[in-house]
């Protein structure tokens, strides 16, 4: 069932797809046997089309398996794993000095007036902005500009900005509009120019699903991608923002994505936290594991349909649990993928080339 994952960062990774797992199996010490069994059972029990497991260290593929009708080149919806891509896109503007995280959003979008002027860009990406849900976010017939304008004209913050964590899509909608205004491009075009294009993520888009294009991408959750393409994004982050062809993000910006952005806030009552059981959040990423001094050890960008990309900073490993569970709800799909992701990074920590 093992198939070619595709060119990830450098060509040498291709040779490792077979060699690395085969070495472990030959030695009788393959730590991924139970994980593969759990994915095989999950595909059957949850009536999924298929699933993909990918685990890497640097340019080496530690483990790669696909199950059912999906493989690492299958385009699937990634839901909230979109947020990591959006945050990275905005951070390229921070690197260029065109956006400041702690600046008022009114600096870029002057239509945000009154109490909304207290909201910062950082708070948009960390779900601490306080803005209430806006129905235009799910309206495929509108545009990012129109939806952001509706949010600006709508109710003010229901909680004081910076004081309450409330996971959702409103902040990312406004952040997407900031990206448009600052770049002079559509959100989709800016993402492609700054992240997808340089990384060769040609099938990763926010404005298309099952061959149908729509004019209102959702920066918080409408992206589709493949396991092999998203792995290129992870590889860039693991390498401190660089690729073989150049730098995408400054190293400080990569660290900022993973830094605790909700320090001092009690997040436990948030619905998403109750699902993930992860109390701290960065900019578009969950902080799965941190040490006693709050240094990040594992981060992830899980989506409601079970797409679960992760980076283990302790061991230099990263990977993806790739499923598209559209039927069983986030309350089931996310914890199921989380258990498998954790099994994957624990197994990877034992892997010796």
Instruction: Evaluate whether residue 324 is within a structural domain.
Output: no
Report pLDDT digits (tens) over 259-318: 999 999 999 999 999 999 999 999 999 999 999 899 999 999 999 999 999 999 999 999
Question: Looking at the predicted structure, is the pLDDT value of residue 153 above 70?
Answer: yes
**What local confidence, expressed as pLDDT, does residue 158 receive?**
98
Mean pLDDT of 74-95: 98
Report pLDDT digits (tens) over 243-259: 999 999 999 999 999 99
Report pLDDT digits (tens) over 209-240: 888 899 999 999 999 999 999 999 999 999 99
- Residue with token string 């699933």: 51
Q: Name the residue among 351, 345, 296, 293 with its Cα closest to residue 321.
A: 345
Question: Looking at the predicted structure, is the pLDDT value of residue 198 above 90?
Answer: yes
In the chain, how many domains are there?
1
Q: How far apart are the first and last CA of the chain?
A: 21
Instruction: Evaluate whether residue 322 is within a structural domain.
Output: no
Q: What is the pLDDT confidence band of residue 96, given thresholds at 50, 70 and 90?
A: very high
Instruction: Evaluate whether residue 327 is within a structural domain.
Output: no
What's the CA gap between 353 and 346, in Å, rounded?
A: 16
What's the CA gap between 99 and 93, in Å, rounded?
A: 6
Q: What is the pLDDT confidence band of residue 351, given thresholds at 50, 70 and 90?
A: confident
Percentage of the chain with pLDDT > 90? 87
What's the CA gap between 30 and 342, in Å, rounded?
A: 16
Establish how many alpha carbons lie within 13 A of residue 114's alpha carbon, considering only the half-sphere containing its beta carbon: 10
Neighbours of 24 (CB within 10 A): 20
Instruction: Evaluate whether residue 51 is within a structural domain.
Output: no
What's the CA gap between 70 and 299, in Å, rounded?
A: 25
Question: Looking at the predicted structure, is the pLDDT value of residue 103 above 90?
Answer: yes
* Separation of CA 201 from chain center: 14
The token pair that represents 185 in the structure block: 């491009």
Percentage of the chain with pLDDT > 70? 92
Instruction: Evaluate whether residue 193 is within a structural domain.
Output: yes
**What local confidence, expressed as pLDDT, does residue 352 receive?**
75
**What local confidence, expressed as pLDDT, does residue 137 receive?**
95
267 to 75, 122, 138, 169, 278: CA distances (angstroms) = 33, 17, 25, 17, 9
**What local confidence, expressed as pLDDT, does residue 11 receive?**
34
What's the CA gap between 147 and 336, in Å, rounded?
A: 33
Range(s) of the domain holding residue 86: 78-302
Instruction: Evaluate whether residue 58 is within a structural domain.
Output: no
**What local confidence, expressed as pLDDT, does residue 117 receive?**
98
CATH number at residue 263: 3.40.710.10
Instruction: Evaluate whether residue 63 is within a structural domain.
Output: no
Question: Looking at the predicted structure, is the pLDDT value of residue 42 above 90?
Answer: yes
Number of H helices, E strands in the chain: 12, 12
Q: Share the mean pLDDT of the chain.
A: 92
Mean pLDDT of 99-115: 98
Instruction: Evaluate whether residue 43 is within a structural domain.
Output: no
Alpha-helix runs per DSSP H in the chain: 12-26, 33-45, 82-95, 121-125, 144-153, 170-183, 187-191, 197-199, 227-238, 251-258, 271-276, 330-349
The model carries a pTM of 0.91
What's the CA gap between 76 and 52, in Å, rounded?
A: 11
Question: Looking at the predicted structure, is the pLDDT value of residue 116 above 50?
Answer: yes
What secondary structure letter does DSSP report for 130? Answer: -
**What local confidence, expressed as pLDDT, does residue 130 receive?**
98
Q: What is the pLDDT confidence band of residue 13, given thresholds at 50, 70 and 90?
A: very low
């Amino acid at each position: 069932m093992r198939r070619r994952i595709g060119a990830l960062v450098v060509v040498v990774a291709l040779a490792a797809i077979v060699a690395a797992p085969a070495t472990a199996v030959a030695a009788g010490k393959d730590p991924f046997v139970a994980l593969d069994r759990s994915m095989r059972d999950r595909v059957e029990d949850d009536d999924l089309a298929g699933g993909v497991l990918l685990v890497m260290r640097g340019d080496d593929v530690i483990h790669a398996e696909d199950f059912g009708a999906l493989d690492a080149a299958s385009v699937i919806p990634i839901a909230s794993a979109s947020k990591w891509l959006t945050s990275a896109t905005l951070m390229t503007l921070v690197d260029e000095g065109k956006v400041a995280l702690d600046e008022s959003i009114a600096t870029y979008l002057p239509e945000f007036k009154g109490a909304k002027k207290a909201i910062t860009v950082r708070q948009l990406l960390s779900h601490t902005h306080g803005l209430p849900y806006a129905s235009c976010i799910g309206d495929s017939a509108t545009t990012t500009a129109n939806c952001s304008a509706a949010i600006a004209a709508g109710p003010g913050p229901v909680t004081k900005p910076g004081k309450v964590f409330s996971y959702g899509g409103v902040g990312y909608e406004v952040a997407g509009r900031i990206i448009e205004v600052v770049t002079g491009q559509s959100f989709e075009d800016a993402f492609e120019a700054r992240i997808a294009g340089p990384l060769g993520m040609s099938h990763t888009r926010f404005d298309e699903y099952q061959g149908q294009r729509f004019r209102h991408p959702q920066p918080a959750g409408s992206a589709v991608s493949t396991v092999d393409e998203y792995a290129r994004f992870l590889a860039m982050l693991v390498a401190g923002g660089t690729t073989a062809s150049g730098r995408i993000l400054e190293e400080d910006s990569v660290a900022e994505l993973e830094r605790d952005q909700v320090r001092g806030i009690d997040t436990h009552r948030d619905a998403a936290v109750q699902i993930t059981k992860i109390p701290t959040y960065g900019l578009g990423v969950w902080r799965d594991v941190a040490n006693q001094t709050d240094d990040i050890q594992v981060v992830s960008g899980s989506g409601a349909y079970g797409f679960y990309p992760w980076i283990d900073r302790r061991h230099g490993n990263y990977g993806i649990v790739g499923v598209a569970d559209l039927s069983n709800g986030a309350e089931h799909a996310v914890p199921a993928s989380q258990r498998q992701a954790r099994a994957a990074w624990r197994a990877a920590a034992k892997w010796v080339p």
